[in-house]
Amino acid sequence: MVLKDGQAPYDLAEVQFFNQYDTLAAVKRLADSENLAIFCGAGLTIDRTGQSWGALVSRLLTDRGKIPPGDVSDQDAQNVCAILEPLHVASVVSHYLRENADDDGKMESALHTSLQSHLYPLSDWAAGRLVDNVIRLAIARARKHLAITLITTNYDTSLEEQFRNQREEERARIASDVPFPFLFVRVVGAPVAPRLDIEGTKGCGAVKLIYLHGRVPREGDVVGKVAFSEQNYLSTRSVVERKLGSVFAKNDLLILGSSLSDPPLMHALLASQGEARDNSCSRFALLPMPSVPNQGVTMTRSQGVAVAEHLPARMAEFGVRLLMPDYFSQVSQFVEEIRVHTSTSRTEDEYAKRLESWWDAWNSGRDEFDYRRECHEALQVAVDAIRGELGYGHRSSSRSLESLKLEIWARVPKGPRRRSLELWASSAGVVIDTSNPRWASLSLVSEFSAVRAYQGGQPLLTAEPHSTPDTIVRSPKDPRWQTFLSVPINVDHGHGRLPVGVVTLASSLGANKSRIRESRPKRIRLVVKRMQDLGELYLAPIQPREVGGETASTPDESGENV
């Protein structure tokens, strides 16, 4: 859809999502639930890997190790994927795999191998926090002996991996014998396999994880029937719907990462509606405005307002209360808010109040100019380190080949620009004019990479001249900077984590020449980690002890380093 002259595009809701009554009520209801199920749709895999279902199917269609180019040319594959639904393309892939195999067993083996090759892209540096926050919530509930069931439509084992990661991180940080829940893994249509379970501490509670469409690990055997093509989905639909219906009828429900258009999901919601009501089960779904079917961010203002007002009525027909965040990262934060309120019910621990508390704590107790200068010097040191991580070494001549700039943007929660990012520090110079700062509105139509990364909740690599952040919507292109890597920053404050800003690395070279590019994932991973550490250090409401290569944080009141 192309907007006509004079039409205003849909932007943020008038009331911030976490200030809305329905949002606050949903957080409290789900935090108080004794039996909670979380339906994890494709959005969780996208948040983890940056790869959609359509992108995965497209990769399989051009997997020359399994489908010869004589079957599908690269141009044909591009055209087919541009026009057909991903599930229809999956059937095309299945047919060609079958033609190139001697029997169904070999065809399935080829599909499994291809899925394992493409399901886990090397760009894990682009992971968001949605999977992490779902697992953090599940663990918190299990420790309180509150029932928690995770149901995933995805093949990948990201939820399991994050469960293991969380266990190892806690034991390394706290103690090797810290109590930790069990994880019980089940795959619909497959026999119970205890070998998939993750051992926990006796008496600590458990998390249940259910795969609906098969389990495809990075390595090893695939478990269950992989629902890939239309034929697969049709043949497994009844058993999937029964499993969903049995869970939905007895548990409070939160639906994440779903377009709310999948027939088995919608049928199970309808079929279980009466029993769920009899059991006093509450059911919620999150659908960010940018993912509204057939619309997205090109909606006009009036269309967006109408959709936000009336689309919840559609889900009410299925016994589900629909919440519509302004952008994707608010889905992850919503899950974090449930975890926070599983442990506390104080109003001062609500998201908006915690964000303002962070801002006040971060801005107090120090000389602002000295701190900005300190940040500037640290960013200069970091730029030199990043040059080395990008493979430039220590040659001063590299600066003439590719100019780099680091910036820290802070989330402003108060005042006239309370829904914006403000430039706090830059490696290019000390930010002096604080009375007239550079800022960028958190607009849904912003072209500014820092805003887009903040809203997406994932590191974002863009390679094109983009807007300078001086106006709400658009502003002139700045040709000096061509490639941008923006990393959202979250810090611990109060009882939970908060998204408090973005660190952006800008390059003077375009996509084909800059060393900041997706084809160098190992190097980008190092750079993203450095940017995250830098942002967490300087956006945390504490003082760094020193500036330089080995920065350290001042202990908080508990004596632990942040």
The number of helix segments (H) and strand segments (E) in the chain equals 18, 13
State whether CATH 3.40.50.1220 applies to domain 17-49+124-345: yes
Closest residue by Cα to residue 30 from 109, 148, 126, 118: 148
13 by DSSP, 3-state: which?
Answer: coil
Q: Give, for 408, the enclosing helix (H) or strand (E).
A: strand 404-412
Residue 105, Cβ density class (10 Å: 0-12 exposed, 13-18 middle, ≥19 buried): exposed
Q: What does the DSSP 8-state code read for residue 260? A: S
Most confident range, picked from 109-113, 427-431, 471-475: 109-113
Residue 463 is predicted with a pLDDT of 83
* Angle at 59 (CA atoms; ends 56, 60), nearest 5 degrees: 90
Residue 397 is predicted with a pLDDT of 52
Closest residue by Cα to residue 144 from 432, 343, 351: 343
Rg (CA), the chain: 24
Q: Which residue has the tokens 């830059």?
A: 426
Per the DSSP assignment, residues forming a β-bridge with 147 are 35
> What DSSP assignment string belongs to 480-540?
T--EEEEEEEEEEETTEEEEEEEEEEEESS-TTT-S-STT-HHHHHHHHHHHHHHHHHHHS
Residue 465 is predicted with a pLDDT of 52
Q: Give, for 207, the enclosing helix (H) or strand (E).
A: strand 206-211
Residue 66 is predicted with a pLDDT of 79
Which tens digit of pLDDT belongs to each residue from 348-376? 789 999 999 999 999 887 788 888 999 99
Which tens digit of pLDDT belongs to each residue from 289-322? 988 866 445 788 898 899 999 999 999 999 999 9
Q: What is the 3-state secondary structure (H, E, C) of 392-403?
A: CCCCCCHHHHCC
Output the CA–CA distances (angstroms, integers) from residue 70 to 66, 75, 441, in the order listed.
12, 12, 50
54 by DSSP, 3-state: which?
Answer: helix
Closest residue by Cα to residue 112 from 236, 215, 231: 215
Q: Tell me the mean pLDDT in the region 419-429.
A: 92
Q: Which two tokens stand for residue 5?
A: 């002259």
Residue 491 is predicted with a pLDDT of 96
Output the CA–CA distances (angstroms, integers) from residue 254 to 68, 290, 351, in the order listed.
43, 19, 19
Q: What does the DSSP 8-state code read for residue 290? A: G
Q: Tell me the mean pLDDT in the region 409-435.
A: 87
Closest residue by Cα to residue 212 from 230, 236, 248: 236
Angle between helices 86-99 and 74-83 (to 10 degrees): 140
* 363 within 8 A of 415, measured Cβ to Cβ: no
Query: What does the alpha-carbon distance between residue 496 and residue 57 come to, in Å, rounded to a whole number?
Result: 37
561 by DSSP, 3-state: which?
Answer: coil
Q: If pLDDT is split at 50, 70 and 90, which confidence band does 226 have?
A: very high
* Angle at 214 (CA atoms; ends 208, 220), nearest 5 degrees: 95
Per-domain residue ranges of the chain: 17-49+124-345, 53-118, 353-539
Contacts of 37 (CB under 8 A, 6+ apart): 148, 149, 150, 151, 247, 248, 251, 252, 253, 254
Task: Quote the pTM value.
Answer: 0.91
Residue 175 is predicted with a pLDDT of 72
542 by DSSP, 3-state: which?
Answer: coil
Least confidently predicted of 65-79, 99-113, 208-222 = 65-79
State whether CATH 1.20.1740.10 applies to domain 353-539: no
